[in-house]
Every structure is written in structure tokens, then in C-alpha cells.
A and B are shown apart, each in its own frame.
Chain A
């Protein structure tokens, strides 16, 4: 309130720190070994290191599709969260994943998600998972998320008047 002209860089750093804190607090992300590569406005990049615990086909050592699903879901959720004007609870409504080719062991999988539209109730997001080259993806995803779910925030304040 006293700062009439906050430093935009400081605000951005503070925001990224808060967003990173939320992302790092997710137990399942930690269990999978997910690393947060970068977070930006409506964008997120996560990295899943190869881990023998996540193998789906014991004959080939290829990661289970479910692990890629979890990575993409987490990364999409983070991109949506980063697109919101202030932190609000969100919930996945649906997520479609196309598996374009198998992940190659023992390489890490990177997911890159972009939340390209946020409305009052719903956020829309796209993502890809890849090894080294985003233009040569392993999987592509499209999802929608509910914004400001009543669940999840017991202390949820009434939105200030005029909110879109």
C-alpha cells in the first residue's frame, strides 16, 4: 500500500518464488522426482529424470505412459496457476494426451505447457513432452481446468467487486 510504484522486476521475482513454492509443495511431484525448470506468465517447464521405478515395460525399460501423464498434468496445472492474476485453487477438468512415440530410456522427459486462455471459470492449456527437441515431441496434451474451485481454500475470500 505504501509502495505506489513497485519495482516490476522485484514483483516478478517474488511472484516466481511464490509459484515455485506452490509447485514444490506437491507431494506427488516430489515422489516422481519432477524438477521445475522454469515458470513464467501462463507457462511452465518441468523435467522428469529417468527413474527405474517409473518403468512401464520391464522388457524395454520405457517409462510408463502414466508417468508422462502425471508429468503433463502437473506441468499443465502449473501453467494455469501461473496464468492467474492471483493464486487460486484449480482442478483438472479434462486432459487428453496423444502419445506420438515412446520415450527413450534412459533420457529425462521435459514437459512444456502454455495456458493460452483463462476465463472466469475455465482455463485452457496445451503442452508437449519431449527429450531434447520441443519440435520432436514424445507426447502432446490439451487440457481444461476449473478456476477458483470452492474446495481447497477454506479461507477463500469473496472476490472483489467487478472481477471478470
Chain B
């Protein structure tokens, strides 16, 4: 994984990381760097629907998109040499997810030696009107020979 992260960073190709994750492909995620940040797109697919009457996206797909965007932001911008492990994630659902493409992007608010905190938003047409937000803590590992490995 370490090599794969390094290659993707060197090639400037964050989507290469995403396509290595089977669950990201299942959700239909792609990634691109926009203004220096990872923006993850969840392409609309009928299998993402939770409420067929509305119709609306399944809350779990939005949670998964937010968690993935946070992880890919960390893989991209932090110095972690392992896939970050989610410790806790809290998702706030603000608006119903319409059956269209959804985007998500995270900001690393604090990065320690062992733990990182990420805030992440998901939106559809307008980034200023998020449909869901999350904050999450991840266990990470930096490449520090003498560092805390915990």
C-alpha cells in the first residue's frame, strides 16, 4: 500500500488510489484534485437508493462517501503510510440526497502522530448547500523510524 500511495502521489493521480479499493468501485466513486483538495464524486446509480418513493439516496451511501472522501484526503495530503483506520465518524444528514451525482471533500483539521481529525462535506449542485457533513477521527501511521508506532 505504501508503494501504491507513493506512486499515486508522484503521478498526481488520486483516482488510482480510489480504483484500488473494491468498495469505492461498488459505490461508483472517482476522485480528482480540485484546488489542491481531493474531491470524490459518487456517480448516481439506482443501487444507491434508500427510499424509492422520493426517491432519495440511502443514508449509508452518503456516510460511506463522506468516510471515503476523508480517508482519501488523508492518504493524499497527510504523511500516513498506512490506510487510515476509522475510529469514529459522526454524520449529520442535512438534506435529502436526490438521485444525481454527489460530491464530497474533506479538510484535515488536525494531524497528530497517531490520530487525525477530518471534517468533510457532501453536496450535489452547490458546495455552499451541503446535503450531509461528517467529522471523523482516524488512526494513522507516519513514516518516523523513532516515532510512536501505536
Contacts and interface: CB of A to CB of B under 8 A. Distances in A.
Contacts of A56: 21-23, 83
Interface string A88-121: 0101111111110010000000000000000000
Q: Is the interface of A mostly helix, strand, loop or mixed?
A: mixed
Contacts of A65: 64, 67, 86, 89
Interface stretch (A10-18, A69-77, A128-136): A69-77
Nearest to B20: A58
A96 B61 CA distance: 15
A83 interface: no
Contacts of A99: 85-88
Contacts of B24: 64
B106 to A, nearest CB: 14
Interface stretch (A1-9, A21-29, A35-43): A21-29
B51 interface: yes
B150 to A, nearest CB: 15
The CB with the most chain B CB atoms within 10 A, among A26, A63, A69, is that of A69
A26 B59 contact: no
Contacts, number: 140
Interface in B21-69: 21-27, 46-54, 56-61, 63-65, 67-68
A67 B52 contact: no
A55 B23 contact: yes
Contacts of A151: 54, 56, 96
B90 interface: yes
B58 A74 contact: yes
Given A69-B60, A74-B58, A97 B88 contact: yes
A58 B21 contact: yes
6 contacts: A27-B50, A28-B47, A28-B60, A96-B90, A102-B85, A151-B96
Given A64-B22, A94-B90, 10 more contacts: A27-B47, A53-B25, A53-B26, A69-B91, A70-B58, A70-B61, A95-B90, A99-B88, A152-B53, A152-B96
